[in-house]
Amino acid sequence: MKKGKIAILTGGGDCPGINAVIRAVAKKAILKHGWEVIGIADGYDGIINEHYRKLSYDDVSGIISLGGTILGTSNKANPYRVPVQKDGELAFEDRSSAAITTIKNMGIDCLVCIGGDGTLYISNSLSKDGIPVIGVPKTIDNDIRGTDITFGFDSAVYIATEGIDRIRTTAQSHHRVMIVEVMGRTAGWIALHSGIASGAEIVLIPEIPYDIDIIVAEVDKRNKKGRRFTIIVVAEGAKPKGGDVAVQRIIKDSPEQVRLGGIGFMLGSQIEKMTGIETRTVVMGHLQRGGGPTPFDRVLGTRLGTRAVDMIQTERYGYMVGVKGNSLVDVPLKEVGKGPRHIALDDPLIQSARSVGTCFGDC
C-alpha cells in the first residue's frame, strides 16, 4: 500500500499501554509511509454513531506514558449486537451492514483494532465481511489466544504486587489473614504472577478449584508455627471444588453480561468463621487498570504498533500481532475468537511456586 488511509479504534476495558500502541501506529504510518490516520472514538461505538477524527503527528506526541486511551473506549458497543428498547424491553439489533457502510465511506484501507478477545472477535467478523483489519492484543488479563503476553499485563501485575506488599505489613502487625482479590476474569495470570512476586502464602486461580478445608489447614499450620499472619491472593474467577464463581452483577446490555467479583469477601467470611482469626479482604479492582504503563508495556506497545503498520504495508489483513518468545508473529483472528487462554496445570510457574511452598488450595 503506497499511499493510504488507516483508522484506529480501542475497544473493551481501558488498559495501560494503549496510548503507546496508538502512538506507534500513527507515527510510523505518518513518518514512514505518509498515510492519513483516523482515530475512531469510543471503540465500535464510534463506527456505529460515526464519531471519528483525523490524528496528526502532534496529536500522538507525548502520550507514551499516559494511561487510558486518548480515543476513548467501550466494552458494550458491538455493531452486530446493538442494544435497543422495544416495547419497554431490552432487545438487540444487527447494525453491522450500516457499520460496514460507514467504514467504506470513510475510505480507509485498513482498520487497526486494539482490544481483547471480545474486540478482536468482532474484528474477525468484520474481516469476514470484507473489511481489511489488523488486530493488536490488549488486556491486563493476559488471556488472549495466540500470544504469550499482552500489553497491560505487566502494568497490572506491578500494581497488584505493590498492593500486596503493602498489605503484608499490616497483616504482620495485626496477625491477620489478608485476602487480596485481583482481576483476570476466568484466567489466573494476574493472581499467579503477583502472588509469586509478592511471596503470597496462598494463591487461588480459576484453573485450580480450591478446597476450603485445605486453605484453613494451611492457615492453622502457619499460626501454630508462630507465623501469625497469612496472605492470600485470589483471582476474581476462582471457585471452590464443586462450586461456582462469585458474580458481582449482571449487565444485560453488555456482550459480556456477567461481571465477576466478591470471591474475596466470601472466602474471608469462611476462613474467619472456621479459624477464629480475624480476616480482611482488599479488592484491587480498577486500580490495576489505571495510571501509566510500565516501561515493559511501553516498549511492548511500541513493538506491536509498529509491527501492525508493517502488516498493513504487506496487506496481511485478518491477522493479529502476537508474541511468541522474543519474536512477533501473525495470528489469524479466527484463532483469537476461540475463547480465552488459560494457565496450563503443568505451567512451569505453578511448579516453581509449589516448590517454594505456595499453596493453591488443592493439596
pLDDT per residue over 150-176, tens digit each? 999 999 999 999 999 999 999 888 889
Nearest partner of 102 among 35, 56, 55, 44, judged by Cα:
44
| H-helix or E-strand spanning residue 63 | none
pLDDT in tens, 24-35: 999 999 999 999
CATH of region 5-151+293-336, choose from 3.20.20.70, 3.40.50.11540, 3.40.50.450, 3.40.50.1220 = 3.40.50.450
Same fold yes or no, 5-151+293-336 and 154-290: yes
The predicted structure's pLDDT at residue 226? 84
- CA distances in angstroms from 169 to 57, 172, 216, 258, 268, listed in the order given: 46, 5, 21, 34, 18
Backbone angles phi, psi at 244, to 5 degrees: -130, 175
Binning pLDDT at 50, 70 and 90, where does residue 301 land? Answer: very high
Cα–Cα distances in Å, from 138 out to 65, 92, 174, 273? Answer: 16, 26, 39, 40
Does pTM surpass 0.85? yes
Shortest CA distance to 195 belongs to which of 180, 211, 184? 180
Q: What is the DSSP string of 76-115?
A: S--TTSEEEEETTEEEEE--HHHHHHHHHHHT-SEEEEEE
Kindly report, residue by residue over 50-64, the tens digit of the pLDDT. Answer: 999 999 999 999 999
Q: What is the mean pLDDT of residues 129-140?
A: 97
Domain extents in the chain: 5-151+293-336, 154-290
Architecture of the domain spanning 154-290:
3-Layer(aba) Sandwich (3.40)
Active site residue 141: yes
Among 141, 143, 154, 297, the active-site one is 141
338 confidence band (pLDDT: 50, 70, 90): confident
